[in-house]
Amino acid sequence: MSSIPHDLVVGGVPHGEHAHHPKGIMRWITTTNHKDIGTMYLWFSFTMFLVGGVMALTIRSELFQPGLQIVNPEFFNSMTTLHGLIMIFGALMPGAVGFANWLIPMQIGAPDMAFARMNNWSFWLLPPAAFMLLLSLFVPGGASSGGWTMYPPLTIQQGMGMDLTIFAIHIMGASSIMGSINIITTILNLRAPGMTLMKLPLFCWAWLITAYLLIAVMPVLAGAVTMLLTDRHFGTSFFNAAGGGDPVLFQHVFWFFGHPEVYIIILPAFGIISEIIPTFSRKPLFGYASMVYALAAIAILSFLVWAHHMFTTGMPSASILFYMYATMLIAVPTGVKVFNWLATMWKGSITLEAPMLFALGFLFLFVIGGFTGLILAIQPIDVQFQDTYYVVAHFHYVMVAGTLFAFFGGTYYWLPKWTGHMYNEKLADWHFWLSFVFFNVAFFPMHFLGLAGMPRRVPDYAQQFTDWNMVSTIGAFGFGLSQLVFLTAVVKCIRGGAPAPAKPWDGATTLEWTLPSPAPYHSFETPPTVK
């Protein structure tokens, strides 16, 4: 059972509003309240999304036409590097943690996160790290330009910008690990009486597994960049071929982190979608247990496939076959999830409010991203597509249409609970359709460009790629501007709007909907009992 019917919940009604907290800026700096911290994570994520978005538009502006028009090649490469790092570590991961902070305590009937002070610290590590990343643009030698993957030997030779990038990753990694420890401890120890693990909302399950993944892989990334740092400054040769090190080893270690990272980003999105679809289909989630097993299977398989990112580095045939088939195997639990979402909708009383629109958009586009991933899993094909725009198209269908669409859907879904107001449905619908159309205008042509052989991370290109690049750039600007509609919808909802009832969605069944809207500053001081 994925959710708890209201009539089975006893107690848990908060003791009114006990908002004895500092006012003004000190409230936000010193807060240990999970809702405040969740809000800060979400705004930080959105700010970084805009910063990374401006970098994306710089890239797309340069690529509007062949030749070099706007930026020099070094700066272009810095833009692609920072765009990737900021979107992954600054926008998508903190966004997911924002949802976790807001929702996990309310969904499990806990008053707050297990380590409230550490929660504050986890967040406040992020702005200095982001500042360091951006500061690297202004130091001698410029920002890191070796791609978000930071492959040596290029990154061993770069200037001070690379050191700032390494420190920023260390800090963001520490923040992620602290956040994960907090989430696991909260879910395991602070669940309301009666809420067994197999009664957890799917969002909490998704985050529990994500947090375990984070604890496994963030230290690996931290170790890898630490070795990079010592290679740069302390005379070691872990990856420095000149001293007997092996640069390909870095790729192995990086992707040992990097591939599970993809699932770290997408699993919370799966959790959000698994909340939205049953609500707007007015049916319980189909196959709850199989959804949990599929999440676990995806997480474990994600550690067995990293070398599919390195098919062109040369490896024994047996390894190629293993990584190829293991990668394809991930399609099975992912397919189970897609099947269950479709089965949940089957014969449901579906309504198409904005959260459901984004969930359907997610489903449609994520499946496209998944299928292109399957194509890339086939080594003979991957060898042709390696480092082309086909790969860029593939991972943007997963990361943007997957995770970001789920975040948008989740935001509209829980905005009434967060703000106490209903959002403007018309604006939200416009936001969805503009995003959906412009996303495809921006990224679908990249498949054609990749198939035709256009390489990524290059600021100039041959004449024959011009048309689709122009289309893609127009789509990118359209997609970027569409997000202003989102900002408007959210700000309008915060400032006012129709009052939201405790449970604005008929089909919603999880514990947070038993609280009034907006959720009181302190909720579930008395744990509810789940029968």
Residue 455's φ and ψ, nearest 5 degrees, are -75, 150
Residues listed for the chain: 531
Distances (CA, A) of 386 to 257, 330, 407: 19, 20, 29
Least distance (Å) between residue 181 CB and another protein: 5
Task: Spell out the residues 6+ positions from residue 462 whose beta carbon is closer than 8 angstroms to its own.
Answer: 66, 454
In the region spanning residues 128 to 187, those forming contacts with another protein, defined by CB under 8 A, are 177, 180-182, 184-185
Q: Does 188 bind another protein (CB under 8 A)?
A: yes
Residue 258 amino acid letter: G
Q: Does 215 bind another protein (CB under 8 A)?
A: yes
d(Cα 196, Cα 434) in Å, to the nearest integer?
41
| Contact map string, positions 226 to 245, toward another protein, x by CB under 8 A | xx----------x-------
User: Across-strand partners of 9?
Assistant: 530
Q: Does 466 bind another protein (CB under 8 A)?
A: no
Least distance (Å) between residue 208 CB and another protein: 7
Residue reference for tokens 């959210």: 490
Distances (CA, A) of 228 to 39, 142, 286: 35, 18, 46
Query: Residue 486 is encoded by which pair of tokens?
Result: 């989102």
Q: Which of 220, 328, 378, 494 binds another protein (CB under 8 A)?
A: 220
Q: Does 252 bind another protein (CB under 8 A)?
A: yes
Q: Does 225 bind another protein (CB under 8 A)?
A: no
Query: Residue 118 is encoded by which pair of tokens?
Result: 């550490």
Q: Does 456 bind another protein (CB under 8 A)?
A: no
Query: Nearer to another protein by C-beta: 70 or 174?
Result: 174
Q: Which of 189, 312, 313, 349 binds another protein (CB under 8 A)?
A: 189
Query: Nearer to another protein by C-beta: 292 or 493?
Result: 292
Q: Sign of torsion, CA 487 489 495 499?
A: negative
* Buried-state track 255-273, b at ≥16 Cβ within 10 A, e below 16: bbbbbbbbbbbbbbbbbbb
> Looking at the annotation, which residues are catalytic?
83, 112, 148, 175-176, 259, 261, 263, 274, 308-309, 334, 337, 456
Query: Residue 299 is encoded by which pair of tokens?
Result: 């997480």
Q: Does 218 bind another protein (CB under 8 A)?
A: yes
Q: Which stretch binds another protein (CB under 8 A): 2-10, 193-201, 328-336, 454-462?
A: 193-201
Least distance (Å) between residue 184 CB and another protein: 6
d(Cα 495, Cα 304) in Å, to the nearest integer?
48
Q: Does 256 bind another protein (CB under 8 A)?
A: yes
Q: Which of 57, 126, 292, 357 binds another protein (CB under 8 A)?
A: 292
Q: Sign of torsion, CA 475 476 478 483?
A: positive
Give the closest residue to 446 by CA, choosing from 366, 392, 399, 404. 392
Q: Does 463 bind another protein (CB under 8 A)?
A: no
d(Cα 511, Cα 224) in Å, to the nearest integer?
41
Least distance (Å) between residue 466 CB and another protein: 43
d(Cα 419, Cα 309) in Å, to the nearest integer?
42
Query: Nearer to another protein by C-beta: 179 or 475?
Result: 179
In the region spanning residues 294 to 313, those forming contacts with another protein, defined by CB under 8 A, are 296, 299-300, 303-304
DSSP-assigned letter for residue 89: I
Query: Nearer to another protein by C-beta: 259 or 421?
Result: 259
Q: What's the half-sphere exposure (Cβ side, CA atoms, 13 Å) at 324? A: 17
Distances (CA, A) of 361 to 4, 385, 528: 27, 26, 35
Query: Residue 62 is encoded by which pair of tokens?
Result: 């340069």
Q: Does 527 bind another protein (CB under 8 A)?
A: yes
Least distance (Å) between residue 288 CB and another protein: 12
Query: Residue 132 is encoded by which pair of tokens?
Result: 């360091």
Query: Nearer to another protein by C-beta: 180 or 517?
Result: 180
Q: How far is CA 266 from the centre of its chain?
A: 6
Q: Which stretch binds another protein (CB under 8 A): 220-228, 328-336, 377-385, 487-495?
A: 220-228
Q: Which stretch binds another protein (CB under 8 A): 13-21, 29-37, 190-198, 444-452?
A: 190-198
Q: Does 82 bind another protein (CB under 8 A)?
A: no
d(Cα 173, Cα 195) in Å, to the nearest integer?
31
The answer to whether the beta carbons of residues 239 and 245 sit under 8 Å apart is yes
Query: Nearer to another protein by C-beta: 245 or 416?
Result: 245
Q: How many residues bind another protein (CB under 8 A)?
A: 45
Residue 530's φ and ψ, nearest 5 degrees, are -100, 125
d(Cα 476, Cα 470) in Å, to the nearest integer?
10
Least distance (Å) between residue 151 CB and another protein: 17
Q: Does 88 bind another protein (CB under 8 A)?
A: no
Q: Which stretch binds another protein (CB under 8 A): 76-84, 139-147, 252-260, 464-472?
A: 252-260
Q: Which stretch binds another protein (CB under 8 A): 57-65, 249-257, 350-358, 441-449?
A: 249-257
Residue 418 amino acid letter: W
Query: Nearer to another protein by C-beta: 161 or 179?
Result: 179
β-pair type (9-10, 529-530): antiparallel
Q: How far is CA 187 from the centre of its chain?
A: 20
Least distance (Å) between residue 43 CB and another protein: 27
In the region spanning residues 97 to 116, those forming contacts with another protein, defined by CB under 8 A, are 114-115
In the complex, the residues that contact another protein under the rule CB under 8 A are 11, 114-115, 177, 180-182, 184-185, 188-190, 196-198, 208-209, 212-213, 215-220, 222-224, 226-227, 238, 246, 249, 252-253, 256, 292-293, 296, 299-300, 303-304, 526-527
